[in-house]
Amino acid sequence: MPKNLSKHSSSEAELEAKVIDLKPEVFVQALKSMYVARQIDNKAMTLLKQGKAFFHIGVSGHEAIQVASAMNFRPGYDWFYPYYRDWAFVYQLGVTLEELFYSVLGRAECPATGGRQMPAHFGKKELRIITQSSPTGTQYLQAVGTAMGCVRDGTDEIVYVSGGDGSTSEGEFHEALNWASKDKLPVIFVIQNNKYAISVPIYEQTAGASVAKIGQGFYGLDVYEIDGTDFIQSYQTVKKAVERARAGLGPTMIVANVVRLVPHSSSDDHRKYRKPEELEFERLNDPILKMENLLIERGILTKNEIEKFYSEIDNEIEKAIEKAEQKPYASPETVMLHVYAPEKTRQLNYESTVPSGKPIVMVDAINHALHEEMELNPKMLVYGEDIADPKGGVFTATKGLTVKFGKDRAFNSPLAEASIVGTAIGLAVKGYKPVVEIQFGDYIWPAMMQIRDELAPFRYRSNGNWSAPVVIRVPVGGYIHGGHYHSQNIEGFFAHLPGIFIAYPSNAADAKGLLKTACRIEDPVLFLEHKALYRSPQAMAPEPDENYLLPFGKAQVKKPGKDATIITWGLMVYKSLEAVKIIEQKYGVEIEVIDIRTINPLDKETILNSVRKTSRVLIVHEDTLTAGFGAEISAIIASEAFEYLDAPIKRVAGLDIPGIPYAPTLEEAALPQTEWIVKALDELIRY
């Protein structure tokens, strides 16, 4: 019997009565899907030994709960976030044998990845199987985000998300349970507990060795612990969870105790940490043996009929393998495809006129951009920590959004950065445009897994089938006496992540134009806002109108010149202009100042044209010198314009220290000052 740890479960008689209603062909189909998955394990290992495949992660022992789960959902209507053992689940859902072996063999026609990911990274857009990755536990928050979208759309769509017991040790799993329970979201968490996270047993992973008991702490979460090798028990438990979710009653977690009959993966040997007696005992709970006995007991199939049935399936599998082996690998020419959305998606009506409205500070320009874009796009949502009215954000950037658009579109999130980004990915999958805020750049790091391993490669790893155009607004920068944890610059870290655009405006007009563009394009955007510029008179500019859009990848020449070039961004634009006045007056030279405006894409053309003209270059940025983004610009110039240089490339940047000190004297010593730039320009001009 399934054990419901949240409330009284249905009686055994009620469950049995429902089981009798299942037609014999349902049991036969269940056995087929289970056997197919088992044979995929066997065939994949053979292909690996033959050098035709390179990795496999098995399903053996998990088949019953997977097939029972899939039978209760609606493919192409509900949403699915499987994990890497879900071979039986995705097959029952509708992924074909051929497609599964395209995955095993890494072929170009694999609908999940096109050969870009290892086998068992499932995905198929027609079935709404979301592109899957390797990190354990990242899928849970995305599933919650998609469920948020289902509720907002007013449908009875529900979301399946699965994982192993090891993944429940990840903090993001607990964050997902919290958010789903808090908002009564239609998510069904299926935890396939084989009691091992590779080699680490559950009693070393989880308090009380019970994931189910941990789930009891989440108010509003229905929790079951069941025998996941028992098809009937699994089917009926998932059925109840599905009915509950469709009725709008909230999430369910099903902890399905299963057996792992094979090593963790083809790279593992479980005989090193599991005793022969344990493995033999596990085989007694083989879900396929149980299913065979069930069909025989019910008179649905005889043993001989099952053997004949298996033989027919084996022939299907051999044909699928043969067909898959004949398919080509992806062409090398395609390796750079789908890093970003197609160029045509960025062909917007960019404003060519000069902004002429009333001068405005940068934080208000950002606020107005959000208001205008939310008015334009009813699918746009704004959320983060403290962003809702009456506070309207710690810097007031989101002021008035909740009042105007309601709490369902501008709302506070839990204080959990991974939750903010993870749910945003799931919402974007559902067709929403999440524009979320991380309160300070210093605190973005809990979301790094969601950004680096999920958001950035989302389109690429799915071979262009899925995208997540999330905008992440982040206040950054020093000069505000914010100390170590309110002063960081982070663009150097994130510039290393292909797949995400990065904007870093220096003034109000640019901030409005770039943010409005970010809200409309199909690529994820990290939008960096310097806190010291929010209300700085220097960063004020005439406000553009509601139609003003700025293209990413287009730098601005803030001041033309012919004798040297400064390349900079953010607050350093103003310190550079101050230094230029001093040096030009001293030497009678003309120095060009370029504000790159976006880190990625970078306007190399404007930079290189300037270098070819002036032959001297100074790069100025606030982030640390070592591995700062200035080093990348320097490398580009050295590679593509070296012969035009009349002096070594110089850089001015923040000190290589772990954080920005609080005391004014130390902060001033740590961050670039105008006199630093003056000194560097002086040396550059006199070289």
Catalytic residue positions? 486
Cβ atoms of 5 and 216 within 8 Å: the answer is: yes
Cβ atoms of 369 and 546 within 8 Å: the answer is: no
Cβ atoms of 601 and 552 within 8 Å: the answer is: yes
Torsional class of 78: left (φ above 0), alpha (ψ -120 to 50), beta (otherwise):
beta
Strand partners, 433: 380
Cα–Cα distance, 687 to 142 (Å, whole number): 55
Q: Is 212 exposed, middle or buried (0-12, 13-18, 19+ CB in 10 A)?
A: buried
Q: Record the tokens describing residue 15, joined without a space.
A: 């469950």
Please give the helix or strand (H or E) that residue 340 lies within, else none: none
Cα–Cα distance, 530 to 533 (Å, whole number): 5
Please give the full DSSP string across 606-632, using - where no structure is assigned.
HHHHHHHHH--EEEEEEEESTT-HHHH
Q: Record the tokens describing residue 247, joined without a space.
A: 């009725």
Q: What are the backbone angles phi and psi of residue 626, rounded to the nearest 5°?
A: -70, 125
Q: What are the backbone angles phi and psi of residue 653, rounded to the nearest 5°?
A: -155, 175
Half-sphere exposure of 215 (CA within 13 A, CB side): 29
Q: At what angle do helices 287-297 and 24-49 cross, to 10 degrees?
A: 150
Cβ atoms of 28 and 158 within 8 Å: the answer is: no
Radius of gyration over every alpha carbon of the chain, rounded to an integer in angstroms = 29
State the CB neighbour count (10 A cutoff) for residue 594: 27
Query: For residues 363-395, b (16+ Cβ closer than 10 Å) or e, as one string?
Result: bbbbbbbbbbbbeeeebbbbbbbebbbeebbbb
CA nearest 186: which of 134, 267, 247, 113? 247
Residue 196 is given by DSSP the state E
CA nearest 33: which of 114, 90, 79, 103? 90
Cα–Cα distance, 437 to 393 (Å, whole number): 9
Q: What are the backbone angles phi and psi of residue 512, rounded to the nearest 5°?
A: -65, -50
- Which SS3 state, helix, strand or coil, does residue 25 take? helix
- Which SS3 state, helix, strand or coil, does residue 493 take? helix
Nearest-5° angle of CA 571, CA 575, CA 579? Answer: 160
Which residues fall within 8 angstroms of residue 446, CB to CB, at 6 or more apart? Answer: 171, 416, 417, 418
Residue type, 589: V
Strand partners, 4: 224
Torsional class of 130: left (φ above 0), alpha (ψ -120 to 50), beta (otherwise):
beta
- Which SS3 state, helix, strand or coil, does residue 114 take? coil
Residue type, 113: T
Residue type, 683: E
Cβ atoms of 101 and 320 within 8 Å: the answer is: yes
Helix, strand, coil percentages (3-state) for the chain, rounded to 5, are 45, 15, 40
Cβ atoms of 36 and 244 within 8 Å: the answer is: no
